[in-house]
Amino acid sequence: AAELVVQDLEVLKPVVDVFQASDRDALEINEGAPGNIVIKHLGGNKKRTEEALKKADVVVRGKFNVPRVVSCQMEPRSGIGEYDYESNVFTITAGNQGVHRYQMMIASALKVNPGKIRVICPDTGGGFGSRGHVGPEFVILAWAAKRLGRAVKWTSSRTEAFMSDWQGRDMFMKGELGVTRDGSITAYKVEFLINNGAHTICYAPSANASRSITTIYDIPVFSLDMGVYLTTTTPVLPYRAAGRPETHYVLERLIDMAASKIKIDKISIRVNNLIRPDQMPFKTPMGLTYDVGDFGLAIKQLAELMDWNNFAQRKDTSVKFGKLRGISLVPFIETPVGAPFEMGRLEIDENGIATIYAGTQNHGQGHETTYAQVVSDLLGIPFENINLTWGDTNDLPRGGGTHSDRSMRMMGTVLYEISKLIIKKAMPVAAHLLQVDEDELVFDDGKFILGDNQQTVDILTVAAAFKEFTGKSGRLAAVWEQKGRIPAFPYGASGVEIEIDPETGALTICRYVLVDDCGLAINPMIVEGQVHGGIVQGAGQAIGECAVFDPSSGQLLNGSFMDYAIPRADQFPNFSVGSLNVKTKGNPLGVKAGGEAGTVPALALIGNAVMDALSPFKIRHFDMPFSASKIWGAIQDAKKDLAV
């Protein structure tokens, strides 16, 4: 049959970036998207902004590119498909960020009832956003397992992963910032051109960028012009902090440019324009409502940790050794969202073992520890008696998965509500055991207490008696489904010092400091670990990561770890992390989020520090990644200009 197939191919000119995509003569990727544009979004007030820019004492302008990155999870995508002919149930075992989303999407593709799809997720080596959506291979696995009548396994090669795994970032921004002579921001105008790849999967990066456009500043007037384009490149999905690093990058670069131009301290210009604590709750121009926050306090604490005021001495020392030294500081806010629902179940057996069934999934966040801590604190069950089960659609009918800094915010609320239900269900049993009325008892520290601690019975004793007392076949258990979003706005400030060797362009990160307000930190050590990972993932892009496509062929040119500059441990110093831990009012635990704090400010932070270090050469800006070759080239070009 293959011999009867006649190939009739037309080689088309590739479109690898937004500039090619927006060209009048560009290939139209999809007839449903004339001009290759799939979203055109306007925000703010363009007329008022332009008027304010005309009246500003000083206006700084710049063009900024945040290149495309590859997700580079520890393990490539892999899966096993099975089909049971007796029950007509498909089973897919695969690493992902949400088994219930996989269940629904695979069921939709195969046109079967979701109840006939079971998805199991074992331990997964990295998520970062791109594993929140279903790749076509997992649908094919299910189909092939039924067709062949046997289990089918597939594992992506690393080269396949580089070429076909959904990628991240890839935004070009053009901005204008108006300021007064004393550094007050009067107007902000920004344009985004976003490369969405060959087809649309998710608009979270562009939505997040627009929602957080003014970050933590009280800017009187602004305008936003955002275009999302199709190209012939791999589609883009959320990549850790999706959209927020890009938003911070353009605004913070412009603020540093303004500070240099009007010769004002880079901390002062930021502090003078912050949203103040007495303005809380503060509704941003794009409709977000920040409930609590002291952004100035985060900057103050960061400056102390960095020993900011003595930077000049350290810079002089670097100069004596023939090096250039730069410093920068970036305040940030994360504005996470995520799926607006979550479910969990808690069971306590007759032996006193509690099992949490969670709709979220752990791929490095430490849920086994933090969820157990919450339940232990709320119900007084010994930490070592608490187990966590996740990643199986047979355990719960619904679940939101893990993404967008949502797990503790959503699942913590679920566990809080479940604990209240457990206490309510256990109260009649406790009253029976103590032979008193229910209204005579209070629950505290894992015990039902009568009067002034006259008689007590602990929750595990009640759980052991639950089945006998109720006459039901079951354990002391409760289920809760949280519906609706739980907003939270973790924020902080981050600072860095770098050295550059002008002879080679080599960049060394000397100090990296971050102050984070993640609300109540359930486990500070785990939060700090998340911050460390976020820093490396964010700064790693700034100093090296960049997916390069050949504009003539459309092919990825650096599709392996031999030529894709993933960050290495020896590129980073020890990190110093401070915390504020101001509880949010938006959920009963007061938690915000901690998974993206290191990533959000990193691009702007490294970019500003590089430009600060290169200021003796009058270098104003060039695009990341800030590799040794690009830095060295910029220095050579600047020397030629200065010599003229």
List, in order, residues 6 or more apart from 617 with CB less than 8 Å away. 634, 635, 638, 639, 642
CB 174 within 8 A of CB 191: yes
Q: At what angle do helices 244-262 and 204-211 cross, to 10 degrees?
A: 40
Which pLDDT score is estimated for 330?
A: 98
What end-to-end distance do the CA atoms of the chain give, in Å?
Answer: 70
Among 167-181, 456-470, 511-525, the range scoring the smallest mean pLDDT is: 456-470
Domain limits at 626?
Answer: 168-337+487-643
Q: Does 137 score more than 90 pLDDT?
A: yes
pLDDT of 584 > 90? The answer is yes
pTM: 0.95
Task: Look at 142-146, 219-223, 337-341, 489-493 and tell me which has the smallest mean pLDDT.
Answer: 337-341
Same domain, 615 and 494: yes
Task: Report pLDDT for 473.
Answer: 66
Q: What is the mean pLDDT of the chain?
A: 95
The tally of domains found in the chain comes to 3
Judgement on whether residues 285 and 332 belong to the same structural domain of the protein = yes
Q: Tell me the longest C-alpha to C-alpha distance in the chain.
A: 96
Please check whether residues 191 and 320 belong to one and the same domain: yes
Asked if residue 322 and residue 361 are part of one domain, the reply reads: no
Q: What angle do CA 37, 39, 41 make, to 5 degrees?
A: 125
Tell me: pLDDT of 472 over 80: no
Instruction: Output the pLDDT for position 337.
Output: 85
The Cβ of residue 265 has, within 10 Å, a number of other Cβ atoms equal to: 12
Indicate whether 584 belongs to any domain. Answer: yes
Q: Which residues pair with 176 in a beta bridge?
A: 61, 189
Q: What is the DSSP string of 388-412?
A: EEESBTTT-S----S-TT-HHHHHH
- Does 268 lie in the same domain as 195? yes
Return the structure tokens found at 413. 């609320």
Q: How does pLDDT run across 585-616, given as a tens digit for each residue?
A: 999 999 999 999 999 999 999 999 999 999 99
| DSSP secondary structure string for all residues of 305-317 | HHTGGGHHHHHHH
Residue 107, helix vs strand vs coil: helix
CA distances from 539 to 122, 200, 554, 625 (A): 29, 27, 27, 10
Phi-psi region of 380 (alpha: psi -120 to 50; beta: other; left: phi over 0): left
Whether 292 and 358 share a structural domain? no
Q: Tell me, rounded to whole angstroms, the distance of Cα 547 from its chain centroid.
A: 20
| pLDDT attached to residue 538 | 97
Characterize the bridge pairing of strands 222-229 and 37-44. Answer: antiparallel
Asked whether residue 16 is assigned to any structural domain, the reply reads no
pLDDT at 590: 96
Task: List CB contacts of 595: < 8 A, sequence separation 6 or more.
Answer: 240, 365, 405, 530, 534
What contacts 130, CB < 8 A, 6 or more positions away?
A: 71, 73, 165, 166, 167, 168, 237, 238, 239
Q: Looking at the structure, do residues 345 and 332 belong to the same domain, yes or no?
A: no
261 and 370 share one domain: no
User: What one-letter code names the amino acid at 455?
Assistant: Q
Phi and psi, residue 558, nearest 5°: -125, 70
Residues 102, 81: Cα–Cα separation, whole Å: 13
In which band, very low, low, confident or very high, does the pLDDT at 453 lie, cut at 50, 70 and 90?
A: confident
- Residue 361 is predicted with a pLDDT of 93
- Give the CATH number, domain containing residue 122: 3.30.365.10
Separation between Cα atoms, residue 154 and residue 303, nearest integer Å: 50
3-state SS of 574-638 is: CEEEEECCCCCCCCCCCECCCCCCCCCCHHHHHHHHHHHHCHHHCCCCCCCCCCHHHHHHHHHHH
Q: Residue 642: its pLDDT value, please?
A: 86
Q: Is residue 573 part of a domain?
A: yes
In this structure, is residue 110 part of a structural domain? yes
Which run of H or of E encompasses 174?
A: strand 168-179
Boundary of a domain, candidates 155, 178, 199:
155
Q: What's the rounded mean pLDDT across residues 125-140?
A: 89
d(C-alpha 238, C-alpha 196), whole Å: 11
The residue type of 118 is R
Give the pLDDT score at 126: 81
Residues 272 and 365 occupy one common structural domain:
no
Q: Per the domain annotation, does 25 fall within a domain?
A: no
My answer on whether 190 and 255 are in the same domain is yes
Average pLDDT over residues 446-460: 90
In a domain, 24, yes or no: no
- Letter for the amino acid at 370? T
Residues 6+ away with beta carbon under 8 Å from 621: 62, 63, 64, 253, 257, 611
> In the predicted model, is pLDDT for residue 14 greater than 70?
yes
Torsion of CA 178, 185, 171, 196, to 10 degrees: -100
pLDDT digits (tens, 9 = 90+) for 19-78: 999 998 899 999 999 999 999 999 999 999 999 999 999 999 999 999 999 999 888 999
Whether 40 is covered by a domain: the verdict is no
Cα–Cα distance, 441 to 428 (Å, whole number): 10
Q: What is the pLDDT, as a whole number, of residue 319?
A: 97
Between 469 and 231, whose confidence is greater? 231
557 & 521 share domain: yes
CA angle 240, 242, 248 (to 5 degrees): 110
Within a domain: 41: no
Q: Are 106 and 116 in contact (CB under 8 A)?
A: no
Q: Which residue has the higher pLDDT, 12 or 296?
A: 296
554 in Cβ contact with 232 (< 8 Å): yes
**The pLDDT of residue 123:** 87
Phi, psi of 77 (to 5 degrees): -65, 140
End of a domain among 440, 455, 483? 483
SS3 417: helix
How many angstroms separate the CA atoms of 549 and 193, rounded? 17
My answer on whether 467 and 503 are in the same domain is no
Q: What is the pLDDT of residues 257-316, one digit of tens each?
A: 999 999 999 999 999 999 999 999 999 999 999 999 999 999 999 999 999 999 999 999
Are the CB atoms for 15 and 21 separated by under 8 Å?
yes
Q: Encoding tokens for residue 305?
A: 């940790």
Report yes or no: 559 and 546 within 8 Å, Cβ to Cβ. Answer: no
